[in-house]
Amino acid sequence: MDMLEDYLRAVSRLLPKAKREDIIAELRDEILTRIESQEGELGRTLTPDETEQLLRDFGHPIVVAARYRDEPQYSVGPALYPFWIFAVRMAVILEVVISALVFFGRLMAGANPAEALGTAIGSGITGVMTLIGFATVAAWIIERKGITIAYFKTWRVRDLRFLDFAAWDWADVSDWMAARTPRPQAASHDYGAYYGWNLRQSSAGRGVSAIVAGVVFILWWVGALSFGLTPIPVDYASLHVDPGALAHVDWPALKAAVYWPVLAWSLALILFGTVILTWPRGVRLRGVIDIFMGLAGLAIALWIWTASPVANAIRVDSVQVLLQRIQAFFIQPLPIPLELAATVFLILFAFGAFCRALGGLWELLTGAPRYPGD
């Protein structure tokens, strides 16, 4: 019965160690009983071919062993699948849109069209595969760790607007282009309607967006996700852009300098999203995280302003100088002054971080959520 032992050895390798011996003993007995009963019917011993056929009927070792495993026999289960496929779809759209933008950006910057197209397709496919891979790994872990996602039970109708975007097609576009009817007045209990789009999200919606934004950003930051943004010699003049001193900045050195702080900040963003999702009522905890993230954002902005390689290019010495520059921009917009754009962006970022810290302090002190309806 060497063939049987070979077969059983193949099965046993795939079984969990603790149960291995017991299961194999039982399988051996079952198969031997079967062989004996067949031999009894035939009145002779089985030929090797017949034995092999019997084992084949019994099942492939991988299948037989898998049936004894306790964990689910799938990567994405039926409950999670709709969300998984939605995420994958979003990822594909995101990657295609960004690759297309980068492609046209390169064309405008004077790149070789064939080369630009090749890069766009190459990085697009790699990016899509990477995102699908990460979505699948996430689903796999969720299925096995028995993680329950509060969002599935606590989603709010007002969060569903993001589906408008996710599912739009040309019919929507033409609807939108046609007579735009004013939105019906929001009912009075819908507090959020008084605020902008962002503020209308519920805490669960904000948690999900924080996690998605954090994950995609980190993947890009560490280089796992590529949008084809590799440095190309940009023809600033044809883009009507004036880079000023920014053209001479050592970007790799800048990225190396902020690599870990930015990574830590993004991880904190994901943590923030997770806290919101798993513990929607933890307003004070959320406040503490907000304070830290706000202060960290301020610190990063301050460093960029004063000590980073780009500091000289984007720092302005007084409010007056800044206002003068903005005024100059409105009088003569082209070429667009990139330095000014970076300065304004940094100031807005710092202001946002400041507000975040302040809002966090408010939540910590009062225990009441900043956004009504949370």
Q: Measure the CA–CA gap between 13 and 68, rounded to whole angstroms.
A: 13
Is the C-alpha dihedral spanning 109, 114, 119, 125 positive or negative? positive
DSSP 96-127: HHHHHHHHHHHHHTT--HHHHHHHHHHHHHHH
Per-residue mark of binding to another protein, 205-234 (x: CB under 8 A): ------------------------------
Interface with another protein includes 67 (CB under 8 A)? yes
Question: Quick one: CA dihedral 48, 49, 55, 59, positive or negative?
Answer: positive
Of residues 256 through 275, those in contact with another protein by CB under 8 A are: none
* Cβ-contact 235, 179 below 8 angstroms: no
- Tokens of residue 307, six digits: 């000590």
Q: Which of 23, 24, 213, 302 binds another protein (CB under 8 A)?
A: 23
Q: Smallest distance from the beta carbon of 14 to another protein, in angstroms? A: 13
Q: Is 68 in the site for another protein (CB under 8 A)?
A: yes
34 binds another protein (CB under 8 A): yes
When asked if residue 20 is in the footprint of another protein (CB under 8 A), the reply is: no
Instruction: Write down the least CB distance from residue 23 to another protein, Å.
Output: 8
How many CB atoms within 10 Å of residue 137?
11
Any contact of residue 29 with another protein (CB under 8 A)?
Answer: yes
Judged by CB, which is closer to another protein: 25, or 321?
A: 25
Pick the piece of the chain touching another protein (CB under 8 A) from 31-39, 46-54, 126-134, 300-308. Answer: 31-39
Specify the residue for token string 């202060």.
Answer: 295
Cβ 55 to another protein, closest distance in Å?
11
CB of 98 to another protein, least distance (A): 38
Binding residues for another protein, rule CB under 8 A, total 16
Determine the 3-state secondary structure of 250 from DSSP. Answer: coil
Interacting residue with another protein among 59, 72, 118, 333 (CB under 8 A): 59
Alpha carbon distance 16, 346 (integer Å): 55
What's the CA gap between 373 and 119, in Å, rounded?
Answer: 46
What is the C-alpha to C-alpha distance for residues 276 and 273, in angstroms, rounded to an integer? 5
58 binds another protein (CB under 8 A): yes
Instruction: Round to whole Å and give the CA distance between 206 and 159.
Output: 9
Range in contact with another protein (rule: CB under 8 A) among 28-36, 169-177, 208-216, 221-229: 28-36
* 33 near another protein, rule: CB under 8 A: yes
Which H/E stretch holds residue 61?
helix 61-67
CB of 42 to another protein, least distance (A): 18
Which positions lie near another protein, rule CB under 8 A? Answer: 19, 23, 25-27, 29-30, 32-34, 58-59, 63-64, 67-68
